[in-house]
Amino acid sequence: MTSITGLRDLRRRTVPPKYIPVLVTAGLFVAMFVAGGIRYDNFATGQIILNVFIDNAFLLVVAVGMTFVILTGGIDLSVGSVVALATMLSASLLKDGWPAYAVMALVLVIGAVLGLAMGAIIHYFEIQPFIVTLAGMFLARGLCYTISTESIPIENQTFTDIAQTRINLGGDLSVSPSAVIAVVVVLIAAYVLHYTRLGRNVYATGGSEQSALLMGLPVARTKIAVYTISGFCSALGGLLFAFYSLSGYGLSAVGMELDAIAAVVIGGTLLTGGSGFLLGTVLGVLVLGLIQTIISFEGTLSSWWTRIFIGLLLFVFILLQRVFSGGSRRRTP
Amino acid sequence: MTEHILRMSGITKTFPGVKALQDVNLAVRRGEIHAICGENGAGKSTLMKVLSGVYPHGQYEGEITFEGRRCEFGGIRDSERAGIVIIHQELALCPQLSIAENIYLGNERATRGVIDWNRTNYEAGELLKRVGLRENPTTTVADIGVGKQQLVEIAKALSKEVRLLILDEPTAALNDEDSAHLLDLLRGLRDEGITCVIISHKLNEVTAIADSVTILRDGRTIETLDMAADSVTEDRIISGMVGRALDNRFPPRTPAIGEEAFRIEDWTVYSPSQPGRKVVDGASLTLRRGEIVGLAGLMGAGRTELAMSVFGRTYGVHISGRIFKNGEPIEIRTVQDAIRHGVAYATEDRKRYGLNLIDDIKRNISAAWLKGLSRRGWVNEYEEYRVAQQFRASMNIKAPGVDSVVGKLSGGNQQKVVLSKWILTEPDVLILDEPTRGIDVGAKYEIYMIINRLAEQGKAVLVISSELPELLGLCDRIYTLSEGRVTGEVPREEATQERLMYLMTKGQE
């Protein structure tokens, strides 16, 4: 990797600094892929990357919602619990004989309403998002156990069909419907962030909430909207997780909020808000997924090494952000 | 000649691009109350920061002699050890702690590392008696008023064996009664042998309490007067404060003034942090089309508070008053309302309230007018880019492109971005709060040209500024504000710096 001073030079010369974290993540992803290809047989294939998408579709969707929240300078700790709640709700309602599509619709609505409620509390009572979403996290996790403390298998035909379908992309490549859904979500979200007023308001609110207020931007609506989006994405992520695991379990997705935050930060989004790209989040999820893949290829390493690498990567990226954003912020005339 | 407790000589302090202090001299006699007067930005606070070690030795040039010894303070701790204590305008108390805890913060009454609360509270009580504050030392600071908090600060200073007490605008936030009490207390301290340096905008207080006064202007010492020997009056101080030369730094303009465009009547705003204190008190203003109107006032007069409360109630509580646009009464409850009614407000603190520093020029320009640049929620990026390019050319924003990050621009160019943003909303009324603060001379001229151009287009412009020459050079009419009240309205022909300063420092009768 380039040294810090090298990156500083790079910033001065060519690329606008806001793209650099994304480019670094992209470079890291490519480097990992190439290294894996050299070290292991059968690694450097398209299917490896598609598998990363398939195995992490739910995380990707959750991280998209998280990106919106973090771009406004907030945080949403409830996402993992909402994922678990979505799987539990789906499994138990399907067991009671509800039609699959009604279950999906209901789960999505519940996720969005939970997010909406948290956003409203955060904005109107001026409480830190950390605390409000922490409460939401306990609430959603607790609700899972009121449904059942055991794992509930899903035997519904529609769900198992979706779980087993593979869409052939030609050659030997194929993806799951969940991966396709995740990619569609990413594309819509990227479009919203970059081409709509809502997207602009998200960046403006995160960049400087005070300024946004004095520019007449609807800060309240924006903040509530991002938590609603995050709640919706968590519920959708939960459905994808249900397709993936074909069960509902109150202990699933424990700590996923932290994976999502890690993916967003590794993707180059500033935790203080206002700067970052969805493409970065996608790359962040891919990097996390690829680390897991490499460790499983290695075979001898315990899966906890994934965490160690994620931890190290986070350190590196937070330092990078300091280098790029800190310099200009600290300076006063 | 009386002995001097403090001598500062040849003090020069430079910030990047600005000389805040230039060869300033200050000599304070033992046991006197010494006032420092000057306009906003004259360098008073900077001088006190040099003295108290906020700017440590080495960051300024010049010499400080205190109690006959040369001092090279490395920080506030050093200056406090020497016996110099500064009380800032924004009080430095922890609101959640008790009075006694605050007084001994960092200086705890402890035996072998364990705090002796009985001794703490007893000694704090003794100090409170000395400053004439009848409160229990265990009362939480947040529960007492600002006036009393000021006294706690002084008690804290006394606990540190203070020999030179510096007060920066001590009465700015106080009501008359508390101010009078504070001034009495300072006289009492003087009789006990504590020397005081007081920075104040309220000249009636200065003449009432000070033994001598040093006047600063543009970072230089103008003169030091002995109040008794020179029989100094408020007018005498004013003429020292404002003697700045007017040169032709202002583009020419022939005003074409039309009918009334905007009127504020009986506007009253209460402070959100200090219940019951009026920051703006029954202010009325009128702006006409094509007219540039000035609003002059010293720090704390309520200029920004007036503007921000008018602009969508972004400041203050219990706001009352009426607003008329073209003679019709209008309601402005939110910033969106203000924009819809054609009112724009460019803030004095553009870095914090006016710009998104980490975003680029075009998005900053379009931010307040996305409505006009989008259809059904989708932003027309091509149009946005075109508009931004147009402004870059017409406002002469010096940047590599409209994709440049605003935080990296110079102050003048940032201000042009702010103005572009508001001009894009096609306002009829523009309130420009300190439009040239922190901007170099060349860019100032450009900003003046832009303001003139706006007036020529028939817009009504209200310029808020603490620089009197700027108001005199730019405005057709100038209102003065003092302690939240409009104290005068002076047409251009009759306006002089002395006249304005007199009105700006006029206290309540």
Residue where one domain finishes, among candidates B218, B242, B266: B242
Residue pair B303/B297 in contact by the 8 Å Cβ criterion = yes
State how many domains chain B has.
Answer: 3
Residue B370 and residue B400 in one domain:
yes
Closest CA–CA distance from residue A195 to any residue of chain B (Å): 5
What integer is the mean pLDDT of B54-79? 88
At A272, the pLDDT band (50, 70, 90 cuts) reads confident
Render A166-200 in DSSP notation, one character per residue. Answer: -EE-STT-EE-HHHHHHHHHHHHHHHHHHHBHHHH
Residues in chain B whose beta carbon is closer than 8 A to a beta carbon of chain A?
Answer: 15-18, 311-312, 314, 334-336, 338-339, 345, 347, 352-359, 363, 366-368, 370-371, 374, 377-379, 381, 403, 405, 407-408, 411, 421, 438
Sign of the Cα torsion B142, B143, B145, B151 reads: negative
Closest CA–CA distance from residue A225 to any residue of chain B (Å): 14
Closest CA–CA distance from residue B85 to any residue of chain A (Å): 27
Phi, psi of B66 (to 5 degrees): -125, 130
Of A196, A216, A329, the CB nearest to B368: A216
Q: Please check whether residue B474 lies inside any domain of the structure.
A: yes
| A274·B407 Cβ contact <8 A | no
- According to DSSP, the residues that pair with B441 across neighbouring strands are none
Residue predicted with more confidence, A221 or B106: A221
Count of CB atoms situated within 10 Å of the CB of A120? 16
| pLDDT given at position A28 | 86
Highest-confidence range of A115-124, B114-123, B131-140, B248-257, by mean pLDDT? A115-124
At B436, the pLDDT band (50, 70, 90 cuts) reads confident
Q: Please check whether residue A5 lies inside any domain of the structure.
A: no
Please determine, for residue A329, whether its predicted confidence score (pLDDT) is greater than 60: no
Q: Please check whether residue B448 lies inside any domain of the structure.
A: no
Contacts of A210 (CB under 8 A, 6+ apart): B352, B353
- According to DSSP, the residues that pair with B479 across neighbouring strands are B295, B489
Q: Please check whether residue A182 lies inside any domain of the structure.
A: yes
Q: Please check whether residue A328 lies inside any domain of the structure.
A: no
Q: Please check whether residue B49 lies inside any domain of the structure.
A: yes
pLDDT digits over A135-178, tens only? 999 999 999 999 988 899 998 899 999 988 888 888 788 899 99
Residue where one domain finishes, among candidates B208, B242, B276: B242
Helix then strand then coil, % of chain A, to nearest 5: 75, 5, 25
Highest-confidence range of A71-85, A199-213, B360-374, B469-483, by mean pLDDT? A71-85
Phi, psi of A172 (to 5 degrees): -100, 15
Mean residue pLDDT across chain A:
87
Residue B181 and residue B160 in one domain:
yes
pLDDT digits over A244-264, tens only? 999 998 888 888 999 999 999
Q: Does A322 touch chain B (CB under 8 A)?
A: no
Residue pair A255/A310 in contact by the 8 Å Cβ criterion = no
Of B17, B358, B408, the CB nearest to A207: B358
Q: Please check whether residue B182 lies inside any domain of the structure.
A: yes
| B335·A214 Cβ contact <8 A | yes
Beta carbon pairs, A and B, within 8 Å: 96
What integer is the mean pLDDT of A224-248? 95
Q: Does A329 touch chain B (CB under 8 A)?
A: yes
Closest CA–CA distance from residue A12 to any residue of chain B (Å): 12
Closest CA–CA distance from residue A270 to any residue of chain B (Å): 11
| B339·A196 Cβ contact <8 A | no
| pLDDT given at position A324 | 62
Chain B residues touching residue A197 (CB < 8 angstroms):
370-371, 374, 377-379
Q: How far apart are the two ends of chain A, measured CA to CA in Å?
A: 34
| B379·A200 Cβ contact <8 A | yes
Question: What range does the domain containing B202 cover?
Answer: 4-242
pLDDT digits over B101-147, tens only? 999 888 888 888 888 888 899 999 999 998 888 889 998 888 887 78
Instruction: Provide the CATH number for the domain around residue A311.
Output: 1.10.3470
Residue B397 and residue B465 in one domain:
no
pLDDT digits over A35-48, tens only? 888 988 888 888 88
| pLDDT given at position B81 | 87
CA gap A133, A118 in Å, rounded? 7
- Residue B412: closest C-alpha in chain A: A333
| B16·A198 Cβ contact <8 A | no
| B407·A328 Cβ contact <8 A | yes
Q: Please check whether residue B250 lies inside any domain of the structure.
A: no
Closest CA–CA distance from residue B220 to any residue of chain A (Å): 21
Q: Please check whether residue A6 lies inside any domain of the structure.
A: no
CA neighbor of B205 nearest in space, from B222, B186, B224, B189: B186
State how many domains chain A has.
Answer: 1
Please determine, for residue A12, whether its predicted confidence score (pLDDT) is greater than 70: no
Q: Please check whether residue B387 lies inside any domain of the structure.
A: yes
A177-195 and A197-207 helices, crossing angle to 10°: 70
| A197·B363 Cβ contact <8 A | no
Residue B55 and residue B87 in one domain:
yes
Chain A residues touching residue B370 (CB < 8 angstroms):
197, 200-201, 217
Q: Please check whether residue B440 lies inside any domain of the structure.
A: no
Phi, psi of A27 (to 5 degrees): -60, -40
CA gap B473, B431 in Å, rounded? 17
CA gap B133, A296 in Å, rounded? 72
Q: What percent of chain B has a predicted confidence (pLDDT) above 70?
A: 97
Residue B349 and residue B337 in one domain:
no
Residue B74 and residue B33 in one domain:
yes
Residue B173 and residue B269 in one domain:
no
CA gap A333, B68 in Å, rounded? 36
| B377·A196 Cβ contact <8 A | yes
Distance (Å) of CA A230 to CA A2, A253, B389? 35, 16, 36
| pLDDT given at position A14 | 58
Give the E-state strand segments of B210-272 in sequence order. Answer: 212-217, 220-226, 260-270
CA gap A311, B474 in Å, rounded? 59
| B405·A211 Cβ contact <8 A | no
Residue B392 and residue B279 in one domain:
no
Q: Does A220 touch chain B (CB under 8 A)?
A: no
Instruction: Provide the CATH number for the domain around residue B42.
Output: 3.40.50.300
Chain A residues touching residue B312 (CB < 8 angstroms):
216
User: Best of B358, B361, B383, B409 to disrupt the A interface by mutation (most A CBs within 10 Å)?
Assistant: B358
| A18·B370 Cβ contact <8 A | no
pLDDT digits over A65-113, tens only? 999 999 999 999 999 999 999 999 999 999 998 999 999 999 999 999 9
Chain A residues touching residue B366 (CB < 8 angstroms):
200
Residue B154 and residue B220 in one domain:
yes
Question: What range does the domain containing A36 cover?
Answer: 17-322
Q: Please check whether residue B434 lies inside any domain of the structure.
A: no
Residue B73 and residue B153 in one domain:
yes
What integer is the mean pLDDT of B54-70? 89
Residue B314 and residue B177 in one domain:
no
Contacts of B174 (CB under 8 A, 6+ apart): B146, B147, B150, B182
Residue B330 and residue B468 in one domain:
yes
Residue where one domain finishes, among candidates B426, B448, B470: B426
Q: Does A275 touch chain B (CB under 8 A)?
A: yes
- Residue A194: closest C-alpha in chain B: B379
Please return the burial class of A111, using the count of CB atoms within 10 Å of its CB with bins 0-12, 13-18 and 19+. buried
